[in-house]
């Protein structure tokens, strides 16, 4: 499992262990030491120069590889903040896919992002919608498309699934910062509040990965999102959850997410998956 120490990785580790799976977790950082004792550890990263020398022997004998590796920056507005994340997607994850094929691991689950779809406003976006060709979004879309293409090109002997997840919510995600700002009265509703936002709780991502490992679909690209909501309804309910002041409307503020309404019906049909926790924090999930 690559990316086991991230926001989506930790709940997945717990879910896999609870389901009786054995896990080898790969991560380059110190958070690897915080994983449960039952998890085997490999201190390595997808951009390591010696990955092709180190990883094949460690992949051998595994039934599946789950790649959740990202490096999403804390500050979306930092122009260089996405460089590492882009390198992982464009270079690191394709390296992993090639090694999966080389070793003959039978299953690969690859996490991707729904942000690579075009902006469609209130129109639903399912997996039949082509990824965005707008040159202005190439820096985001290009590396992710390269990552997905490397997975799609795997031999038929590997049952691969790509999970295009919406923006994460839940513990250790941007939602923590949003709640903090709402409590301080510093997070207004952008524009007129009508922009759609698509989210998925990190624990629901874990449920989807477990379902893929159980059902083993092959050659599938699946969206993962809770019921999309408008920015106004999202922020007002999030404020109400914490007893925070209701956010004001800032007509001059641009939304920090593109206007997308992601349809997850295919994942529901193929995996029996539902976004049980919706758009909301773990404290009120049900």
Tell me the domain boundaries of the chain: 9-168+202-226+262-284
Q: At what angle do helices 9-18 and 202-215 cross, to 10 degrees?
A: 50
pTM listed for this prediction: 0.95
pLDDT(7) > 90:
yes
Q: What is the pLDDT of residue 270?
A: 98
How remote is the C-alpha of 28 from its chain's centroid? 19
SS3 169: strand
Q: What is the pLDDT of residue 285?
A: 47
Question: CA 223, 55, 212: angle at the middle one, nearest 5?
Answer: 25
Instruction: Give the integer Cα–Cα distance in Å for 258 and 76.
Output: 13
Q: In CATH, which of 3.40.50.720, 3.30.460.10, 1.25.40.10, 3.40.50.300 is domain 9-168+202-226+262-284?
A: 3.40.50.720
Q: What is the pLDDT of residue 81?
A: 64
Q: What is the pLDDT of residue 83?
A: 86
Please give the backbone phi and psi of residue 267, each rounded to the nearest 5 degrees, phi first: -65, -35
pLDDT(195) > 90:
yes
Confidence of residue 68 (pLDDT cuts 50, 70, 90): very high
- Given a contact cutoff of 8 angstroms between Cβ atoms, the answer to whether 114 and 225 are in contact is yes
pLDDT(113) > 90:
yes
What is the arithmetic mean of pLDDT over 264-272? Answer: 98
CA count, 13 A, side-chain hemisphere, 270 = 21
More confident residue, 70 or 260: 260
Confidence of residue 74 (pLDDT cuts 50, 70, 90): low
pLDDT(213) > 90:
yes
Q: Which alpha helices (H) appear in 127-227, and where do they start and end?
A: 138-152, 174-183, 202-215
Residue 230's DSSP bridge partners are 196
Q: pLDDT digits over 233-249, tens only?
A: 999 999 999 999 999 99
Q: What is the pLDDT of residue 135?
A: 95
Instruction: Give the integer Cα–Cα distance in Å for 110 and 122.
Output: 28
Q: pLDDT digits over 133-185, tens only?
A: 999 999 999 999 999 999 999 999 999 999 999 999 999 999 999 999 999 99
- Given a contact cutoff of 8 angstroms between Cβ atoms, the answer to whether 205 and 263 are in contact is no
Q: What is the pLDDT of residue 286?
A: 45
Please give the backbone phi and psi of residue 28, each rounded to the nearest 5 degrees, phi first: -85, -10
Q: Residue 62: which of 20, 32, 105, 98 has the closest Cα?
A: 105
Q: What is the pLDDT of residue 84?
A: 86
DSSP state, residue 171: T
What is the arithmetic mean of pLDDT over 30-52? Answer: 96
């Amino acid at each position: 499992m690559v990316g086991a120490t991230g926001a989506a990785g930790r709940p997945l580790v717990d879910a896999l262990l609870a389901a009786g799976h054995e896990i080898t977790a790969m991560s380059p950082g110190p958070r690897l030491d915080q994983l449960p004792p039952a998890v085997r550890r490999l201190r390595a990263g997808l951009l390591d120069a010696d990955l092709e020398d180190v990883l094949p022997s460690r992949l051998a004998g595994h039934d599946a590889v789950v790649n959740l590796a990202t490096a999403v920056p804390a500050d979306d507005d930092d122009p260089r903040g996405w460089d590492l994340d882009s390198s992982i997607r464009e270079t690191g994850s394709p390296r992993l896919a090639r090694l999966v094929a080389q070793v003959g691991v039978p299953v690969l689950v690859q996490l991707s992002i729904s942000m690579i779809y075009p902006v469609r406003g209130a129109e639903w976006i399912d997996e039949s919608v082509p990824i965005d060709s707008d040159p202005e979004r190439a820096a985001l879309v290009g590396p992710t498309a390269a990552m997905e293409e490397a997975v799609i090109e795997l031999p038929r002997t590997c049952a691969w699934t790509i999970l295009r997840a919406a923006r994460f919510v839940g513990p250790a995600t941007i939602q923590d910062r949003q709640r903090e700002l709402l409590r301080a009265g510093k997070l207004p509703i952008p524009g007129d509040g009508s922009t759609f936002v698509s989210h998925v709780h990190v624990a629901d991502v874990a449920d989807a990965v477990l379902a893929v490992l159980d059902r083993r679909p092959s050659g599938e690209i699946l969206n993962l999102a809770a019921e999309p909501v408008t920015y106004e309804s999202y922020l007002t309910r999030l404020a109400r959850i914490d007893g925070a002041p209701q956010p004001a409307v800032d007509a001059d503020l641009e939304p920090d997410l593109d206007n997308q309404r992601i349809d997850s019906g295919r994942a529901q049909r193929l995996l029996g998956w539902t976004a049980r926790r919706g758009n909301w924090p773990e404290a009120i999930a049900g």
